Amino acid sequence: MSKIIIEPGRTEKNYWADLWRYRELFIILSWRDLSVRYKQTIIGILWAILRPFLTMVVFTVIFSRIAKLPSDGNAPYALMVFAAMLPWSLFANSLAESSNSLIDNTNLISKVYFPRLIIPAATLITALVDFLISFVILVAMMIYYQFMPGWQIVLIPFFIILALMASLGPGLWITALNVKYRDFRYVIPFLVQCGLYVSPVGFSSNVVPDKWRLLYSLNPMVGVIDGFRWCILGGNSPIYLPGFFLSLAIIASFLWLGVSRFRKMEKTFTDII
């Protein structure tokens, strides 16, 4: 029989083991979020496709036709935009969902014990499923443009994980802060909106002058999006390596910061939520 000891600082010690023991809860919570997501909507899951697709159309018109920005190599502009739109909406959705997750589950947190990290982590799954659905559109577009991806396409899962990690770091921190200060509820939509224009979604990051390139890579999504484009468009869109490693480092440090802040504040959630 398992023996449970409750004392100050105890949960801290068994943190990661506990997380593993509660994996079924993680599965069922992500399943709940998924099955509830498009309930009582008419076109349901189509929303996952429609939103990035329409944004892509608008961006292609504005940046390619009106602003006349160049594409990467000889890749079609629409394809280049959509290759960035995918990781961006993955990032934006999971950031938005995870940062509101604790407040949305107040009743669970104040009534049942489980490692709190499960809640924001489970929201990533919803964003991931949305991503996979809209990925179908990308495949359709590639067939339409008769565009053959290179061997790099097999590295896509790595960049998917990278995009999720990039959102989890700030997401964890903000959701923890959200418990006490609901101000952050308003920060996120704003941040996501700005990020869409600051990140190289509608345009190629090759448009950025070389001397600013490294500075530009301080935005962690630059690395993720460039990586995605490289995977999908192959040689047309080479990765700027110093910038990529900088983005990687930023993502890692944000993740570390997010997890450590979350764990520090986690203990007081029930007392203040």
Partner 1 sequence: MSDVVIKSENLGKKYTIGHRAKNGRYVALRDVLVHNAKNLWHKTKDLVSGKPIIQGDTTEEVWALKDLNFEIKRGEAVGIIGRNGAGKSTLLKLLSRITEPTTGRVTIDGRVASLLEVGTGFHPELTGRENIYLNGTILGMTRAEIRRKFDEIVAFAEIEKYLDTPVKRYSSGMYVRLAFAVAAHLEPEILVVDEVLAVGDSEFQKKCLGKMDDVTKQQGRTVLFVSHNLTSIENLCKTGIVLSKGNLLLTGSVDKAISSYIRMFIDHENETEVRYRKDRKGEGKVRLTSIDLEDENSHKNIAFPIGSDIFFKINYETSAPIKNPRIILGIYDFMNIGITRFDTDITMGLPFSIPNKGTIICRARNASLTPGRYYVNIAFFSNNVLEDYLTEATFFNIIGSNYFNTGRTFNENDSKLTKILLEHDWKYYA
Which stretches of the chain bind partner 1, using CB under 8 A?
1-11, 24-25, 28, 32, 35-36, 39-40, 107-114, 177, 180-181, 260-261, 264-265, 267-268, 270-272
Sign (positive/negative) of CA torsion 92, 128, 163, 151?
negative
Q: How far is CA 103 from the centre of its chain?
A: 19
Matching residue, tokens 């992500």:
30
Q: Which is nearer to partner 1, 108 or 239 (CB)?
A: 108
| Tokens (6 digits) for 46 | 């189509």
DSSP assignment, residue 147?
-
For the bound state, the minimum distance from the C-beta of residue 120 to partner 1, rounded and expressed in Å, comes to: 16
Q: Which is nearer to partner 1, 137 or 191 (CB)?
A: 191
For the bound state, the minimum distance from the C-beta of residue 154 to partner 1, rounded and expressed in Å, comes to: 33
For the bound state, the minimum distance from the C-beta of residue 47 to partner 1, rounded and expressed in Å, comes to: 16
Q: Which is nearer to partner 1, 109 or 251 (CB)?
A: 109
Report yes or no: 199 and 163 within 8 Å, Cβ to Cβ. Answer: no
For the bound state, the minimum distance from the C-beta of residue 57 to partner 1, rounded and expressed in Å, comes to: 32
Q: Which is nearer to partner 1, 5 or 143 (CB)?
A: 5
Q: Which is nearer to partner 1, 11 or 239 (CB)?
A: 11
Q: How far is CA 235 from the centre of its chain?
A: 25
CA distances from 58 to 52, 112, 199 (A): 10, 46, 16
Q: Which is nearer to partner 1, 40 or 146 (CB)?
A: 40
For the bound state, the minimum distance from the C-beta of residue 273 to partner 1, rounded and expressed in Å, comes to: 11
Q: Which is nearer to partner 1, 213 or 263 (CB)?
A: 263
**Residue type at position 13:** K
Q: Report the greatest alpha carbon distance in the chain.
A: 70
Report yes or no: 81 and 201 within 8 Å, Cβ to Cβ. Answer: yes
CA pair distance 179, 77, nearest whole angstrom: 42
For the bound state, the minimum distance from the C-beta of residue 258 to partner 1, rounded and expressed in Å, comes to: 11
| Tokens (6 digits) for 62 | 């504005």
Q: How far is CA 128 from the centre of its chain?
A: 8
For the bound state, the minimum distance from the C-beta of residue 9 to partner 1, rounded and expressed in Å, comes to: 8
